[in-house]
Structure 1
Amino acid sequence: MSLSADLWRGSAALAAASLDSPFVRGVADGTLPRERFAGYVAQDAFFLEAFARAYALGVAHSRDRATLDAFAGLLAGVRDELRLHDGYAARWGIDLAAVEPAPATTAYTDFLLATAALGELGEVCAAMTPCMRLYAHLGQALVPVAVGAYREWVDTYADPGFEELARTLEALLDRLAADTPAVRRAYRRAMELELAFFDSASSGGPAPAGGTVAGQ
């Protein structure tokens, strides 16, 4: 079994908890209050900007062309996700430039950027892979049952193109990381932070400061 597959298997309980979180269940059945989803969009846009910077550090620290190209392609994928959030913001009147990050968001971005700046590339991949694999897992699990206003979110992460990005990062993890305690800690910590992020979104973390949600 590959390292990435073993790490994912070892995080099955956290993945199941994310799938069963009130936020994800509310997205799937369309019952999540719109202001909660708007708050999530704002927080996730802030997070994704940090995720993009972590990929950029991966590009900078790459030691060969294949690794550089892989990180650059993954960075382009984050830009596509940010455009999705821009679309929600434009439709709903969310000022993404005025986001006040929630503690759960800051904990995750601080962890990612510190790992990307100071860790070995294998540790960087371990810290970043859970986000990609978990979102692909959620999208694929929800697409048969999702209804309502948030179907676009589900379809985005169920798309085969997103699965391809997740596999690209997993392949980097398998190639660059050794099976060390530091790598396992980074993967586990990222999975824990993902669940905390969803819990914060369902309870209503800080929305854009001074922002509004159209239609509320």
Structure 2
Amino acid sequence: MSPSARMWADSADLAAAALGHPFVTGIADGTLPRERFAGYVAQDAFFLEAFARAYALGVAHSRDRATLEAFADLLAGVREELRLHDGYAARWGIDLAAVEPAPATLAYTEFLLATAALGDVGEVCAAMTPCMRLYAHLGESLAASAAGLYREWVDTYADPGFADLAATLEALLDRLAADTPAVRRAYRRAMQLELGFFDAAWAGRGTVAAE
């Protein structure tokens, strides 16, 4: 089993909790209140900007061209996600620039950026991989049954192209990260922060009005 597969398997409890989270199930069946999803979109846009900066630091710290190009491709993928959020914001009248980050959002972004700035490149991959793999897992798991207002969200993360990006990051993790306690802690911490992000979205922290 590869290191990335082992760390994903070791976090199966958190992945299952995310898949069964009421925020996620509300997206899947279309019952999530619009204002909760609008708040999530605003917080996630803030998060994704930090995620993009972490990838940019990965580019800067790359030791070879293959790693540089892989991080650059992953950064391009985040740009596509941000365009999706811009589309939601335009349709629902969300001013993304006016949103204040919730504590759960700041906890996650500060963890990512500190790891990207100070950690080994392998630790950076460990901190970033859970977001990609978890969202691909959610999209793939929900694709067959999702319906309603948020089907576009599910389709985005069920797309094979997104799974390919997750696999690209996992390949970097396997190639660049030693199997150390620090790497495993970074992976597990990111999974915990993902679940905390859904908790905050479900609780309405950071909620904004949706037209």
The alpha-carbon deviation at position 205 of structure 1 amounts to: 1.2
Q: How does 1:114-193 map to 2 (within 5 A)?
A: 114-193=114-193
Q: Which amino acid aligns with 1:63?
A: R
| SS at structure 1 position matched to 2:207 | coil
Q: How does 1:1-216 map to 2 (within 5 A)?
A: 1-207=1-207, 212-214=209-211
| SS at structure 1 position matched to 2:40 | helix
Q: 1:105-162: per-residue Cα shift (whole Å, max 9, x none)?
A: 0000000000000000000000000000000000000000101000000000000000
The alpha-carbon deviation at position 56 of structure 1 amounts to: 0.1
The alpha-carbon deviation at position 207 of structure 1 amounts to: 3.3
CA RMSD of aligned residues (A): 0.6
Q: 1:52-95: per-residue Cα shift (whole Å, max 9, x none)?
A: 00000000000100000000000000000000000000000000
The answer to whether the 8 A contact 2:201-2:207 is kept is: no
| SS at structure 2 position matched to 1:63 | coil
Distance, in Å, in 2 between the alignment partners of 1:38 and 1:206 is 9
Distance, in Å, in 2 between the alignment partners of 1:99 and 1:188 is 28
The answer to whether the 8 A contact 2:122-2:178 is kept is: yes
> Identity of paired residues, percent?
81
The answer to whether the 8 A contact 1:15-1:134 is kept is: yes
Distance, in Å, in 2 between the alignment partners of 1:17 and 1:80 is 27
* Aligned residue pair count: 211
Q: Which amino acid aligns with 2:172?
A: L
The answer to whether the 8 A contact 1:38-1:213 is kept is: yes
Instruction: Please list every run of at least 4 consecutive aligned residues from structure 1 whose deviation after the TM superposition is greater than 4 angstroms.
Output: none
- Gapped runs of 5+ residues in structure 2? none
The answer to whether the 8 A contact 1:99-1:207 is kept is: no
The alpha-carbon deviation at position 206 of structure 1 amounts to: 1.5
Alignment TM-score, normalising by the size of structure 2:
0.99
